[in-house]
Amino acid sequence: MSKGNDVEFVTIHGHRRAYVRTGSGPAVLLLHGLGCDHTTWEPVIEALSRRYTVIAPDLLGHGQSDKPRADYTLGGYANGMRDLLTVLGIDKVTVIGHSFGGGVAMQFAYQYPERTERLMLVASGGLGPEVSPGIRAISTPGFHQVMGLLTLPGVRHLGMAGLRTVAKGPWKLTRDLDEVADIYDTFKDPQARHAIRHVVRAVVDWRGQIVTMADRAYLTEEMPMWVVWGRDDRVIPVRHANTAAALATNARVEVIPDAGHFPHKDHPHRFARIVQEFIRSTEPAKYSRARFRALLRSGGNGPRLRSVSSDTA
């Protein structure tokens, strides 16, 4: 639970969804990554809420939201976010997605461009096949049974303590292991394990990521888009940020030094400034059905602008 922000609940299609809503001003939707929940955004929620209405949900199958046998595809999650925003009376948002949440953010912008003002991808999936072996392992047949043994009380507590101890070391390779420990702890819930396995199987196989934005990136031509990455990311390679810049005509890239897969947690003040600069310096996308139709017909074969790449906030 975020400090000073109560978790609220709403039931949609018979499933309870948890979310935090705080602040006022233009709406910003924060989408967390695989195995995480809204608390991953705790370090930046307060700063962002001074200028914006911040909506930070627990995606279905995560956190305090229900974990039913349900549609855990990117399209299903995008639909769920549309429905949540509709129930909350929010028409348009700047959507910011981290890791798997970046894939959901891209899918939301693709399915609902009329409701998307801007798109920010943070160490996002969907930009190349490479992904850490740990995530690929979740898609294997024996994951549920093995994790059931590894999350027995004594084993889990020992494993989490080991991860947190190593995370405190000086090595960049292990900087994200405290977050890994939090994800590991959620796997003690069999329903959570089932949900995460369904999520991963929808986007990853033994060779890596299946889903890609490459074939539809040209549709972002009318959408302000920034990409933020930690230079030391060991989960999804930082070179995927350059892929985004090459694919999307208007993407600006921010690579944060001395940050891993969770740059919003490693450098929350800088990350909040990047978000504020993004919103301040860009006009909200204005959806035009005629323009969208023309882009679809061209298939991305029209003139393309050079993307901007920067290491500074």
Q: Annotated catalytic sites, by residue?
A: 99, 233, 261
Q: Are strands 208-209 and 93-98 parallel, antiparallel or unpaired?
A: unpaired
| Coil/strand/helix, residue 10 | strand
From 54, 73, 62, select the one nearest 33 (Cα to Cα). Answer: 62
Number of H helices, E strands in the chain: 12, 11
The token duo for 65 is 């939201």
